[in-house]
Amino acid sequence: MRKKANRSGKESQHEQPSDSSSRFERLVDRTSSIGHYSLRLYITGTSVRSNRAVAAIRGLCEELLPGKYDLEVVDIYQQPAQAMSAQIIAAPTLVKTLPKPLKRFIGDLSNRKKVASGLDLKDKRPAKDVGGAPV
């Protein structure tokens, strides 16, 4: 970095062009992730309830967040340590880590309106079934 005296006579540091470019790239990366959702769905094996939860969340995300989400499905029978570290006590449980704040949805996730509302998304389709209340 180069140092240059400012009007008050104190030295200030100026970044080299390559430093400015890398800083700009980091800023672009950070701002492009705004609006990106990071979701983790905890399920119990391949039960009907688990399959229904996976289908409901994938459908909702594909429709309302196309290309703007990451969904990790965690089978708590296969990865009990991950469920324990996340303090999962019931399944299915959907955990939204990004954007902040963290939110959890426990139980029946088939009510699109409630899940979409809890994720701060607008769903124009009519609501089905009851359940999936945010915790």
Mean confidence (pLDDT) of the chain: 80
Gyration radius of the chain over CA positions: 22
**pTM for the whole thing?**
0.67
Q: Which of 112, 110, 105 is nearest to 133 (CA)?
A: 105
CATH number at residue 65: 3.40.30.10
Number of domains in the chain: 1
Domain coverage including residue 45? 37-118
Cα–Cα distance, 3 to 19 (Å, whole number): 14
Amino acid at 123: D
For the chain, how are helix, strand and coil distributed in percent, rounded to 5? 35, 25, 40
Mean of pLDDT values over 125-129: 55
Q: Is 86 contained in some domain? A: yes
Q: What is the pLDDT of residues 35-80, one digit of tens each?
A: 899 999 999 999 999 999 999 999 999 999 999 999 999 999 999 9
Q: What is the pLDDT of residues 87-99, one digit of tens each?
A: 999 999 999 999 9
